[in-house]
Every structure is written in C-alpha cells, then in structure tokens.
C-alpha cells in the first residue's frame, strides 16, 4: 500500500486552509473568489447551517454548480452536519426517495427544481431553501470561523448511487474518506497551487467531488461549468487557462469531435478518465488533440472512492490497463477459492484500506453483501469492499478489467439501476413485464434498452418515462414482445434477452 503522501486524516473543512489567502480558489460567474474570501463565506455558511439543523442531521443540495454546491461539503462538515448532494439531473421521484431515505432535515436547491416537488415529496420536517435565499441569509449569520476539531471518522456525507437492483442506496463517507481521497488524488496527479481545474462533472458524484476537493487541497483554482454543448468545454479551457480536466468516456468522445483552440491545448497539463474504460482509439484521439497533456486512466467505485490509476508513462504501451493502486489503497485480486489470485488468474477486485466507506445508510443487508472482512492476505485488514468486478493482474503488476458481475448499466458515466427503470415502466399500467438492459454503445458506453410485454400505447409509455425519469435513464429503444423467455425457475431470463439484443433482436422498435 503506497503511503508516501501524508496519511493523517483531518476534518474536511480544513481543506481551504492550505491555499494562499490571495490566490483564487473559486471562479464564479463574474467573480474570482480568493481563498481568504472563500474561508469567510465558508464560516458564515457554516453558521447559518448550524441554525437550520442539529448536529448529525442530513442537509441535501439539489442545484447546479455554484457557490452553494461547492461550499456545502465543507460547510456541513464544519457545522457537524452530513451533506447529501443530489444530482441536479434527477427528477422529483428520485429526489423524494433520497430525502425520505436520508431523513434530510433541510435541502437547498434552485427555485425551479424545488417548484417541481409535489406534496409529500419532502419529509414533513424537511425545510426547503432556494439557493439565493441561503446565500442571502448566510452573511447575516454568526460565523463559525475556526476549522473544526471533529473526529475524522465522523460521518461527513452520504452519496446516493444506484445498485444493480432496487432504489438508489446511500454510501456513507467519513471526513477521513474524503480528506485522504483528496490527498491521494492531488498526489498522484501532481496537482500544484498554480493548477486550474475545470469542474464539468456533477458534484454529486465521488469523481465530481474529487475534482473540487483535490484541487483545493493542492491550493489550486476551480472553475465550475455546467455546459450546454461539448464545444463549450474547450472554449472554457482556453478562457480560463485550464490545466486539469476530468471526464467520462462518452464526454471524451464528444470532446474529440469538436475544435480545440490552441490556448486550451497549450495550457492543459493533464486529463483524467473514470466511469468507464477508455478505448485504444479514444486514447489515440486524446494524444492527437492534446499532445502535451498527461493522460490518467482511472478505475473507482463510490464505496471506496477510487481504486487504481494508470501511470501516464504506461498509457502508450498499455492503453487498456486499469493500472495499479492509488495512494492509501490496497487492491487485491481474490480467486473463487478465496485465495489471492496468481499472476494472470482472474478474480474479484477487493479494495482494502482507509478509503473504504462506512457502508450503506440504513441498509445493513446490502452493507453486509458488499462490505466484508478483508481477505486473509491483506496487509490493511479490517473491512474491505468486495467490488464484484472481475480483474486479473499481469506479470508487470498491472490490473486488467475482465467483466462486471452485476447487472448495473453504465451510461455516460452514470450508474443506473435496471430495476428503477422497470418499476417506473410497470407503474404506468401500460406493460405487464419490463426488463432494462445496457447494450454496448460507442458514444454512451452502454445504451439503455427496455424490453416490455404488453399491449399498451407505445407513445404513452415513452411520454410517461420522459416525465418520470431523468434524461440519462431514458431508454434509447423500447422493444415490445408478446412473451418473455423464462429460465428453469420460471423467472424472466435476462441473459437470454441480453443475447437476443446483442444479436439484433427482431420485432417492432420504438426509440
């Protein structure tokens, strides 16, 4: 386990203390906020939060990138609260589940998003604040100016991620998880105080939060961007002199198809990828467009933040490798007999060490399935995350992805629960049975396909799904069938359906 960076965890709200007070920490619309000024705003926002909810309470955010969504992870930590960031792309049904499951005491969001909530969507005790109201009230609140002395093992955030079945589950992250994650990434990326990170990924994702927290740990500057079109990204890179850009494969595909200004190319020091593997072709495209930039392919899972990265010096010779363990992570390959796999032998990736999360919020059953005792060969010991992903380690010690054990759909960097889509489809009353699957797609990684049995109105089903599910969960194609294949146990045979789709399933299609 690589522990060359400082392995001592601190309370999360200490992150801003590392930057030069005069240096720019956050670039907002029309305003460059220095570290000194951002610390003041953090103190007042923390004071306001402490007046809104009791210590230990959950406070959610449901808004686009801006001052509130960037500061809440630290402000909630200082106030002794637990931050619950909600993907701004989610719609009211998913948000209602997260609010109820987390028992949120308050939520800050945009007026437009809050207006979509219906009666009963938010718990009775949950107070709702428009983000402009929160920003207006915070400066008048008594500040909490000093960094906290909270136990780094205290719960700091709950990040909701879909499982392979059922509704989204909340991954519990401690101050230590998030602090050491920021230290680890800043270290292996080589981030410095003169780095500028363009934050294009949602801050509700661990990968999205990492681009923010690791940059601040290094004393650098963050430029949040909610882009409308892919061409907006390289334009912003040129305008702000961006040195660091993180994205998922579908976005990289789009970014390789647009024009890059020379100012953007010249400033870019490094690009990172997670949420799906880079193809050889995509690696070559990035090398062509950004010849001076170092490429960092990475693999991670929310339950343990990040597991591996590939040294940029090895990308040319091993473009499809997952690389090796990041600092503070111990990554083992465990074969089906429970022993450490031999070189070249396939096994399950098991993540051990201090980046392992605290389990799933109020879900002992699923926690016990994924968070189990570390294998006997582990140096770290304690609790490990058994990923379910099949990998192998080659003679050079590099890891290679083999396959995914569960039925998770990964589309545009989003982890999607098939059951969540199926539940919505069946609830329409237009279909009797529904199966959602991921089909390989060059641009999306996987495209959502929905196979249904019924005699309902196809257009009505499409319009209902468009209303009830966020855009990234929308089926690219809906396949109508008269019967569903069954396995020997009488259950729908998902594997058979997946094979039929892969072979070019016959029948009427609507998309």
> CB–CB of 15/74 below 8 Å?
yes
Structural domains in the chain (count): 2
Q: Is 490 helix (H, G, I), strand (E, B) or coil?
A: coil
**pLDDT confidence bin for 135, thresholds 50/70/90:** very high
* Dihedral angle, C-alpha 135, 136, 137, 139, nearest 10 °: 80
Per-residue b or e along 384-419, where b marks 16 or more CB atoms closer than 10 Å to that residue's CB: bbbbbbbbbbeeeebbbbeeeeebbbbbbbbbbbbb
* For residue 163, pLDDT beyond 60: no
More confident: 167 or 294 = 294
* For residue 487, pLDDT beyond 70: no
Q: What is the pLDDT of residues 492-510, one digit of tens each?
A: 888 889 888 888 744 444 4
- Compute the distance between CA of residue 335 and CA of residue 348 in angstroms, rounded to an integer: 6
Q: What is the pLDDT at residue 429?
A: 86
Per-residue b or e along 89-124, where b marks 16 or more CB atoms closer than 10 Å to that residue's CB: ebbbbbbbbbbebbebbbbbbbeebbeebeeebbee
- Quote the percentage of the chain above a pLDDT of 90: 77
**pLDDT confidence bin for 412, thresholds 50/70/90:** confident
Q: What is the pLDDT of residues 146-157, one digit of tens each?
A: 999 999 999 999
Q: What is the pLDDT at residue 490?
A: 58
In a domain, 474, yes or no: yes
Q: What is the pLDDT at residue 506?
A: 43
Cα–Cα nearest to 191, from 2, 18, 11, 70:
18
Q: What is the pLDDT at residue 2?
A: 47
CATH number at residue 450: 3.30.300.30
Residue after which a domain boundary falls, among 126, 150, 174? 150
Q: What is the pLDDT of residues 350-379, one digit of tens each?
A: 999 999 999 999 999 999 999 999 999 999
Residue after which a domain boundary falls, among 101, 135, 150? 150
In a domain, 369, yes or no: no
Print the domain residue range for 109.
21-150
CATH number at residue 33: 3.40.50.980
In a domain, 212, yes or no: no
Cα–Cα nearest to 74, from 184, 199, 217, 192:
217
In a domain, 79, yes or no: yes
In a domain, 490, yes or no: yes
Q: Is 321 helix (H, G, I), strand (E, B) or coil?
A: coil
In a domain, 55, yes or no: yes
In a domain, 332, yes or no: no
Residue after which a domain boundary falls, among 107, 126, 150? 150
* For residue 8, pLDDT beyond 60: yes
Q: How many CB atoms lie within 10 A of CB 490?
A: 7
* For residue 426, pLDDT beyond 70: yes
In a domain, 462, yes or no: yes
**pLDDT confidence bin for 161, thresholds 50/70/90:** confident
Q: What is the pLDDT of residues 171-222, one digit of tens each?
A: 999 999 999 999 999 999 999 999 999 999 999 989 999 999 999 999 999 9
Residues 6+ apart with CB under 8 A from 242: 196, 197, 198, 223, 236, 264, 267, 268
* For residue 447, pLDDT beyond 50: yes
Average pLDDT, the chain: 92
Tell me the C-alpha to C-alpha distance, in Å, between residue 73 and each of 6, 46, 117, 177, 262.
22, 10, 24, 13, 35
Q: What is the pLDDT of residues 62-90, one digit of tens each?
A: 999 999 999 999 999 999 999 999 999 88
| Helical ranges in 218-276 per DSSP H | 232-240, 249-255, 262-267
């Amino acid at each position: 386990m690589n522990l060359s960076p400082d392995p001592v965890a601190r309370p999360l709200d200490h992150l801003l203390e590392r930057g030069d007070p005069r240096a720019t920490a956050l670039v907002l619309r029309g305003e460059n906020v220095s570290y000194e000024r951002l610390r003041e705003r953090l103190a007042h926002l923390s004071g306001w939060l402490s007046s809104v909810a009791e210590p230990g309470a959950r406070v959610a955010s449901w808004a686009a990138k801006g001052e509130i969504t960037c500061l809440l992870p630290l402000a909630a930590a200082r106030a002794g609260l637990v931050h619950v960031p909600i993907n701004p792309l989610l719609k009211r049904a998913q948000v209602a589940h997260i609010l109820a499951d987390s028992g949120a005491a308050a939520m800050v969001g945009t007026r437009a998003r809050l207006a979509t909530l219906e009666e009963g969507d938010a718990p009775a005790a949950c107070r709702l604040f428009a983000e402009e109201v929160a920003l207006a009230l915070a400066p008048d609140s008594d500040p909490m100016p000093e960094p906290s002395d909270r136990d780094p093992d205290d719960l700091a955030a709950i990040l909701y991620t879909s499982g392979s079945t059922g509704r989204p589950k909340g991954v519990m992250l401690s101050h230590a998880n998030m602090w050491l994650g920021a230290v680890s990434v800043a270290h292996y990326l080589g981030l410095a105080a003169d780095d500028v990170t363009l934050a294009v990924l949602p801050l509700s994702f661990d990968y999205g939060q990492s681009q923010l927290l690791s940059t601040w740990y290094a004393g650098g500057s963050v430029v949040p961007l909610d882009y409308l079109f892919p061409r907006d990204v390289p334009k912003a890179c040129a305008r702000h002199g961006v040195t660091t850009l993180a994205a998922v494969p579908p976005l990289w595909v789009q970014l390789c198809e647009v024009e890059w200004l020379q100012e953007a190319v010249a400033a870019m020091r490094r690009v990172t990828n997670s949420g799906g593997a880079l193809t050889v072709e995509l690696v070559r495209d990035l090398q062509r467009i950004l010849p001076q930039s170092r490429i960092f392919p990475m693999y991670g899972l929310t339950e343990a933040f990040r597991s591996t990265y590939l040294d940029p010096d090895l990308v040319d010779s091993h473009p499809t490798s997952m690389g090796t363990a990041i600092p503070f992570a111990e990554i083992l390959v465990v074969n089906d007999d429970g022993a450490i796999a031999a070189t070249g032998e396939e096994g399950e990736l098991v993540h051990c060490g201090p980046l392992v999360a605290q389990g799933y919020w109020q879900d002992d059953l699923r926690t016990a399935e994924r968070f189990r005792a570390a294998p006997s060969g582990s140096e770290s010991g304690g609790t490990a995350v058994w990923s379910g992903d099949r990998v192998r380690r080659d003679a050079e010690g590099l890891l290679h992805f083999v396959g995914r054990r569960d039925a998770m759909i990964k589309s545009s960097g989003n982890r999607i629960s098939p059951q969540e889509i199926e539940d919505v489809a069946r609830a329409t009353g237009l279909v009797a049975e529904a199966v959602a699957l991921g089909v390989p797609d060059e641009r999306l990684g996987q495209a959502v396909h929905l196979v249904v049995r019924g005699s309902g109105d196809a257009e009505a089903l499409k319009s209902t799904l468009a209303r009830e599910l966020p855009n990234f969960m929308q089926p690219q194609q809906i396949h109508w069938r008269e019967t569903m294949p069954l396995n020997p146990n009488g259950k729908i045979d998902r594997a058979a359906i997946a094979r039929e789709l892969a072979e070019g399933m016959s029948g009427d299609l609507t998309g």
